């Protein structure tokens, strides 16, 4: 499939597309496409022009990220960058709206599959799918030029990193999280609203919070939170600041409840927005291993820049196991092993069949190399 806007690693590459301006020079086709939302006085033709000239970064393209990206592409966000490190699996299809069984069969990375689908949905917009692990070494480059950032993440450590870069560079971002039938979201405008660390000063201790592995998740909860996130992005872009969510909004789709938790005032003692101590961003060496939500798997991230030749690696691994590959990744299952390694050209690997980081590093060193 044509994926000219998809890259491995963290160097973006754009899909060439039309430059569309509203209202003065918009072709009738564009007006027709967005007619049902430009009727709204809060958007109008002027607001649609702002949407078409905006840049939004979606970090994580699982459940929340894929649902948000789908809504934003259809709304006419002019430049949409989607960053994700993972590939599509069968268990994703229950709630991750941009993927299908073909993506599962072909082991397509989520960023690649999402970019291809969204470009078919709306060719007015530029879609970048970036297959990489967001970390302290690349987050500022990936966020550069973004008007808004959308949180589609599945772990707290990276959310605090995202908060650091957003506050440092004054980029609004929309937090979101879903577990079971429950979700929450809040909109963070650096300098004008409390940041993530004002509300939650520290990430929860490892193992203390439920995950989709232990508590499950339903699609309607995902879609609800993603819809709120996408609406908040649109309000930020068109400049309707008075309509923004100013609370920590919590919703339970099973028990049909919605609560607004008032946010604290800006905290001058907050390490991030008060003292401007960017602890997570300044940690230039990311964690070597990360447990992945929903996978029974561990990601292994080697230190330093890597560039693997997947063809050569496949030739080396063929004699000792089963290998399959496409241009995005290589999958390897050692003979007689219950483990599976999915290896990316940047040297990153997802080791499936274990939650033990030591075992994951050992398997990586054994088959890929230290």
User: In DSSP terms, which residues pair with 261 in a beta bridge?
Assistant: 248
pLDDT at position 215 is 78
The CATH number for 6-262, chosen from 3.30.2290.10, 3.40.50.720, 3.40.720.10, 3.40.190.80, is 3.40.50.720
Euclidean distance between CA atoms 255 and 105, whole angstroms: 36
pLDDT at position 2 is 37
Q: How would you write 260-316 as a 3-class SS string?
A: EEECCCCCCCCCCCCCCCCCCCCCCCCCCEEEECCCCEEEECCCCCCCCCHHHHHHH
Q: Are 56 and 79 in contact (CB under 8 A)?
A: yes
Angle (deg, nearest 10), helices 44-52 and 219-238: 100
Q: Are 183 and 176 in contact (CB under 8 A)?
A: yes
Residue 166: CB atoms within 10 Å:
27
289-367: same fold as 6-262? no
pLDDT (tens digit per residue) in 306-350: 788 899 889 989 999 999 999 899 999 999 889 999 999 988 999
pLDDT (tens digit per residue) in 19-64: 333 333 433 446 789 999 999 999 999 999 999 999 999 999 999 9
Euclidean distance between CA atoms 11 and 264, whole angstroms: 38
pLDDT at position 24 is 38
Domain spans in the chain, listed from the N-terminal domain onward: 6-262, 289-367
Report the CATH number of the 289-367 domain.
3.30.310
Which residues does 330 contact at the CB level (< 8 Å), separation at least 6?
Answer: 310, 313, 314, 317, 323, 324, 342, 343
pLDDT at position 30 is 67
* Regions in the chain scoring below 50 on pLDDT: 1-4, 10-29, 206-207
Which residues does 352 contact at the CB level (< 8 Å), separation at least 6?
Answer: 295, 296, 297, 339, 340, 341, 342
Euclidean distance between CA atoms 99 and 245, whole angstroms: 30
Whether omega before 358 lies within 30 degrees of 0, making that bond cis, reads: no
**Helix (H/G/I), strand (E/B), else coil: 55:** strand
pLDDT at position 19 is 31
Structure tokens at 92: 């994703």
pLDDT at position 74 is 97
Give the DSSP per-residue string, 23-47: STT--HHHHHHTHHHHTSTTTHHHH
Name the DSSP letter for residue 15: P
């Amino acid at each position: 499939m044509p994926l000219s806007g998809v890259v491995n690693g963290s160097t973006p590459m754009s899909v060439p597309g039309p430059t569309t301006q509203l209202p003065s020079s918009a072709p009738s086709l564009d007006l027709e496409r967005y007619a049902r939302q430009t009727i709204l006085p809060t958007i109008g033709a002027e607001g649609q022009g702002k949407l078409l000239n905006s840049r939004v970064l979606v970090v994580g393209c699982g459940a929340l990220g894929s649902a948000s990206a789908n809504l934003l592409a259809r709304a006419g966000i002019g430049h949409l960058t989607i960053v994700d490190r993972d590939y599509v699996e069968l268990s994703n299809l229950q709630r991750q709206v941009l993927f299908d069984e073909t993506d599962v069969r072909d082991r397509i990375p989520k960023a690649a599959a999402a970019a291809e689908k969204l470009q078919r949905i709306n060719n007015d917009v530029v879609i970048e799918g970036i297959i990489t692990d967001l970390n302290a070494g690349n987050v500022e480059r990936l966020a550069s030029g973004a008007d808004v950032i959308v949180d589609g993440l599945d772990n707290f450590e990276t959310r605090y990193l995202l908060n650091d870069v957003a506050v440092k560079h004054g980029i609004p971002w929309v937090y979101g999280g879903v577990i079971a039938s429950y979700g929450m979201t809040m909109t963070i405008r650096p300098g004008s609203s409390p940041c993530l660390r004002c509300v939650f000063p520290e990430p929860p201790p490892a193992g203390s919070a439920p995950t989709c592995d232990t508590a499950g998740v339903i699609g309607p909860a995902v879609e609800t939170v993603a819809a709120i996130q996408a609406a908040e992005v649109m309000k930020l872009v068109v400049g309707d600041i008075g309509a923004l969510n100013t609370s920590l909004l919590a919703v339970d789709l099973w028990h049909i409840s919605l609560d607004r938790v008032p946010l604290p005032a800006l905290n001058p003692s907050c390490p991030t927005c008060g003292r401007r101590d960017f602890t997570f961003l300044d940690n230039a060496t990311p964690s070597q291993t990360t447990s992945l939500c929903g996978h029974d798997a561990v990601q292994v991230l080697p230190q330093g820049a890597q560039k693997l030749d997947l063809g050569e690696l496949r030739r080396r691994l063929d004699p000792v196991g089963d290998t399959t590959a496409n241009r995005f990744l290589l999958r390897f299952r050692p003979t007689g092993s219950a483990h599976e390694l999915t290896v990316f050209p940047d040297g990153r690997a997802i080791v499936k069949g274990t939650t033990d980081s030591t075992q994951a590093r050992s398997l990586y060193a054994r088959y890929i190399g230290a």
